[in-house]
Amino acid sequence: MNTQLASAKHDSDLTTPSAPSLQSAQPPLLCEDGNALIRLDRIHKVYQMGDVEVHALRGVSLEIHRGEFVAIMGPSGSGKSTMMNIIGCLDHPTKGHYFLEGSDVSRVDKAGLADIRNKSIGFVFQSFNLVPRTSALENIELPLIYAGIPAGGRMRRARAALGEVGLADREHSMPNQLSGGQQQRVALARALVNNPSLILADEPTGSLDTRTSVEVMEIFQRLNRNRNLTVIVVTHEPDIAHYANRIIQFRDGRIRRDFSVENRKDAGEVLMELPRETEDEEEWGGPAGSKEAGTKE
Ligand SMILES: Nc1ncnc2c1ncn2[C@@H]1O[C@H](COP(=O)(O)OP(=O)(O)OP(=O)(O)O)[C@@H](O)[C@H]1O
Ligand SMILES: [Mg+2]
């Protein structure tokens, strides 16, 4: 695996939100166009279900550059999560090549993929996937434990990440003491704590109400802008997709449309227009948190 991925890690990046972008901190990239962070070349994915073959992806080719904010849309079953799993090094394509920072990772073995994931990719899911009965801070520390970071550094970085999502005062809260939006923000901090170059979010606002969804998108937009973090978000909601600068639409395992977003929405501005819930509601996880599936025990 290309060592550029590992060299993208900068301890100080988390503690300084306006730190120089990763792009400027990294050596030039090796892809064909010299710029692509991700390049998929005629990717196919076929799942074998007994005697039946399910063609989830049917020849997907695309490039995503560092610093892009991409929304993936399309009907249920069109292959969105399958593609995210491949981009996130959770799964291999059946056919085709996947270049991440110029290196072909299509054939990297499981251990190698795990290494790339730990160092370079942060994941956010619809259902938050926090560990129950484990504090917000400890949840965020988990990826650092896997990465072998000593305890002192772990705590400092986890606190910085929690501060970055606006939850510095909730470090001892358990997931079931947090609203859905707060749980998703903890999950976001956990995705960020390893200072990845890429964030993959599969329907991150699917369980959240309107205001909380915009709050999550505001964090994504801020990280994308301030750190040049590349963000890929799967969503069924056109409103959410318009916080991205590019929308890719899937259908039947193929890309149907790929276009730039005109009049991109600014989540910070939208938030200012939206009514804020009362503190009481936030305390008991009322309207802002009542829709979540989450990790309630
Ligand atoms: N592990 C699997 N084994 C077998 N078939 C699978 C597997 N994962 C996905 N599929 C099939 O692959 C196709 C694409 O699924 P995928 O999960 O990528 O769709 P999606 O676009 O994410 O849908 P949704 O919007 O419902 O999340 C579907 O037909 C699905 O049933
Ligand atoms: Mg899906």
Q: Tell me, yes or no, whether 250 lies in a domain.
A: yes
Instruction: Tell me the C-alpha distance between 114 and 275, whole Å.
Output: 42
CB burial of 52-81 (b: ≥16 within 10 Å; e: otherwise) equals eeeebbeebebbbbbbbbbbbbbeeebbbb
Q: Tell me, yes or no, whether 126 lies in a domain.
A: yes
Please name the helix (run of DSSP H) or strand (run of DSSP E) that holds residue 37, with its range, or none: strand 36-49
Cβ–ligand 1 distance for 194 under 6 Å, the answer no
Cβ–ligand 1 distance for 82 under 6 Å, the answer yes
Closest atom, ligand 1, to C-alpha of 83 = 18
Q: What is the CATH number of the domain that holds 244?
A: 3.40.50.300
The alpha carbon of 256 and the centre of ligand 2 are apart by a number of angstroms equal to: 17
Q: Tell me, yes or no, whether 225 lies in a domain.
A: yes
- Answer yes or no: is pLDDT of 136 > 90: yes
Q: Quote the number of domains for the chain.
A: 1
Strand order in the sheet with 36-49: 52-65, 36-49, 95-100, 103-104
- Answer yes or no: is pLDDT of 290 > 80: no
Q: Is 253 left (phi over 0), alpha (psi -120 to 50) or beta?
A: left
Q: Tell me, yes or no, whether 59 lies in a domain.
A: no
What range defines the domain where residue 88 resides? Answer: 65-92+114-284
Structural contact between residues 100 and 37, judged by C-beta atoms closer than 8 angstroms = yes
* Amino acid residing at 91: D
Q: Tell me, yes or no, whether 107 lies in a domain.
A: no
Q: What is the pLDDT of residues 68-117, one digit of tens each?
A: 999 999 999 999 999 999 999 999 999 999 999 999 998 799 899 998 99
Phi first, then psi, for residue 255 (nearest 5°) are -80, 125
Question: Minimal CA–CA distance to 135: which of 182, 74, 77?
Answer: 182
The alpha carbon of 285 and the centre of ligand 1 are apart by a number of angstroms equal to: 32
Q: Tell me, yes or no, whether 3 lies in a domain.
A: no
Confidence of residue 157 (pLDDT cuts 50, 70, 90): very high
- Answer yes or no: is pLDDT of 260 > 90: yes
Question: Minimal CA–CA distance to 146: which of 103, 114, 172, 168?
Answer: 114
Structural contact between residues 128 and 151, judged by C-beta atoms closer than 8 angstroms = no
Instruction: Tell me the C-alpha distance between 286 and 20, whole Å.
Output: 38
Q: Which residue has the tokens 């750190």?
A: 227
Q: Tell me, yes or no, whether 37 lies in a domain.
A: no
Task: Tell me what percent of the residues of the chain surpass a pLDDT of 70.
Answer: 81
Over residues 248-263, the mean pLDDT reads 97
Please name the helix (run of DSSP H) or strand (run of DSSP E) that holds residue 152, with its range, or none: helix 151-164
Cβ–ligand 1 distance for 54 under 6 Å, the answer yes
Instruction: Tell me the C-alpha distance between 19 and 45, whole Å.
Output: 38
Instruction: Tell me the C-alpha distance between 194 and 14, whole Å.
Output: 9
Q: Tell me, yes or no, whether 44 lies in a domain.
A: no
| pLDDT for residue 280 | 46
Q: Is 34 left (phi over 0), alpha (psi -120 to 50) or beta?
A: left
Using DSSP's 3-state secondary structure scheme, residue 215 falls into: helix
Over residues 61-65, the mean pLDDT reads 97
Over residues 172-183, the mean pLDDT reads 96
Query: At a CB cut-off of 8 Å and minimum separation 6, what does 104 contact?
Result: 97, 98
Over residues 153-180, the mean pLDDT reads 96
Q: Whose CA is nearest to atom 24 of ligand 1?
A: 76
